[in-house]
Structure 1
Amino acid sequence: MTLMIKAVLFDLFETLITEFSDGKRLSKRDYNYQALLGLSDEEFQKEWQSRSKDRMTGRFPDYPSVIKDIIAKRELEHNDHAIQHLYQKRMEEKMLPFRNIGPEVIHLLTSLKNNKLKLGLVSNCTEEEISEWRHSELAPYFDEVIFSYEVGFAKPDPRIYELACHRLKVEPSEAIFIGDGGSQELEGAHGAGLMAYQAVWFSSFIDSKFTKLVNPSDVLSGDLFSS
């Protein structure tokens, strides 16, 4: 491996961990919004998606605050028990991917660290989605971790990549970013001056112009680390 690159930045969901197995979600997602909040699933999803940016950038500090905002805006009856029940279900759902980490991902991270590369994580996420992070096998491998809700901006905003590089003490031109391509993260990384690659080992449904990596072992190709 020719080390022209000093750091590798990774996306988290559908890159290092996945919420799916054999095309099906690990979680059953058996939320009963109608019974708990008085909203149909369709109505809830519309409200949930309309708050996506504010959720990812920390305007809502946690899941309960989002639900409370939905309740207030829809003039629904406030129910602390329902809110906490939904919060717990959501936490349980988001813990599952961290308990099913593939050995090929661990091998990849181990190899990169053995080759003296700095590792960074850049994830668009909310508080409850990464509650299991600090307990996971992945956490010890990373030199810097950027969670969007903590820093106030999300991919593809160039500032999130620039912040990661700054913390890792590398120039964007000395780093590569690897992600599944959601949220236009590859375009954002490229625009910030990093080399971007699309990880398709979990999912390939996102179309992009970027070089695709079919297996985690493809990251170890010398082509990615030389100019």
Structure 2
Amino acid sequence: MVQPVIFDLYHTLIHGANDERDRVVAEMAVMVNVAPDALVNAYHDTWRDRMVRWTVEETILILSRRLGADPSREQVAHAGEHRRALACRVLATVPAATLDALDSLRADGHRLALISNATSDTAEAWPQSPLAERFDVVVFSCDVGVAKPDSAIYLTATDRLGADPANCIYVGDGADEELAGATAAGLTTLRITELNDTDPDWQGPTLAAIGDLPGLLRHRYAHLQTDNKTAGTRR
């Protein structure tokens, strides 16, 4: 049976754009009258709340008030649109090799799923990304209220695929302890280093480039078929 493949998003399929994120948040700070460095640090410190609890506007309002400002509804909306524009830009910039690899996997019969620790602006921008049409199942932490490495988010994806976790492959760069989480949930786990070497201490198998994955899986299934035929002959 051809196994479903479940991917991480940032630093796996697309660049995380960390520097651009900080720049945009600093620009948002000016819009809501708080110190840019303070808002950037507040965004970093509250990543999990932003991933599983707060909308874009809630994040801006909560953090601004914590930093001593009381922005108007119009200021919050303006900053929110600035953040959403970033999500659209990042999700539109997908390496051609990534799209080719996903298309090859689908042509080989693999169902594809995505699990991402992501804020609501990512989920809103997703349908316009060239990635969206290539995935059968998408699970964003902001939608399900749980984030990697919690096993529940992986099992949500496998349930939606209608697949046994043991028959699924997870591919990610390793941020947020996602590789250990996928392994604990029962998935076969591959670290990828093409866009970011996030978890160099990972002791499991590592993939240098997403373009290598279709061939790797074809080779794996060819060996499995040969082994099955050999076993059948020996009976």
- Is 1:7 the equivalent of 2:4? yes
Question: 1:168 deviation in Å?
Answer: 0.5
- Is 1:67 the equivalent of 2:60? yes
Does the 8 Å CA contact 1:34/1:40 hold for their aligned counterparts? yes
1:117 maps to amino acid: H
Alignment of 1:37-116 (within 5 A): 37-57=32-52, 59-60=53-54, 62-116=55-109
1:56 maps to amino acid: M
Alignment of 1:160-175 (within 5 A): 160-175=153-168
The partner residue of 1:16 within 4, 13, 16 is 13
For residues 83 and 104 of structure 1, the distance between their equivalents in structure 2, rounded to whole angstroms, comes to: 37
Does the 8 Å CA contact 1:26/1:96 hold for their aligned counterparts? no
Runs of at least 5 residues in structure 1 that lack an aligned partner in the other structure: none
For residues 191 and 36 of structure 1, the distance between their equivalents in structure 2, rounded to whole angstroms, comes to: 43
The partner residue of 1:214 within 195, 208, 216 is 208
The alignment yields a C-alpha RMSD, in angstroms, of 2.4
For residues 47 and 19 of structure 2, the distance between their equivalents in structure 1, rounded to whole angstroms, comes to: 23
Cα 1:126/1:161, change in 2 over 3 Å: same
**Aligned-residue identity in percent:** 25
Q: TM-score scaled by structure 1?
A: 0.86
**SS of 1:193 mapped into structure 2:** coil
More displaced 10-residue stretch of structure 1: 137-146 or 23-32: 23-32
Question: 1:30 deviation in Å?
Answer: 7.1
Cα 1:101/1:71, change in 2 over 3 Å: closer
Superimposed CA distance per residue, residues 150-182 of structure 1 (whole angstroms, 9 cap, x where no aligned partner)? 111000000111111111011111001001111
Alignment correspondent of 2:180: 187
Question: 1:28 deviation in Å?
Answer: 5.3
The structure with the greater share of residues assigned to helix is 2
For residues 187 and 205 of structure 1, the distance between their equivalents in structure 2, rounded to whole angstroms, comes to: 13
Cα 1:55/1:28, change in 2 over 3 Å: closer
More displaced 10-residue stretch of structure 1: 166-175 or 32-41: 32-41
Cα 1:90/1:195, change in 2 over 3 Å: same
Does the 8 Å CA contact 1:19/1:96 hold for their aligned counterparts? no
Cα 1:159/1:19, change in 2 over 3 Å: closer
**SS of 1:29 mapped into structure 2:** helix
Max Rg structure: 2
Cα 1:43/1:224, change in 2 over 3 Å: farther
Question: 1:132 deviation in Å?
Answer: 2.3
Runs of at least 5 residues in structure 2 that lack an aligned partner in the other structure: 225-235
Q: Which contiguous aligned blocks of 4+ residues in structure 1 show a shift greater than 6 angstroms?
A: none
The partner residue of 1:152 within 126, 145, 148 is 145
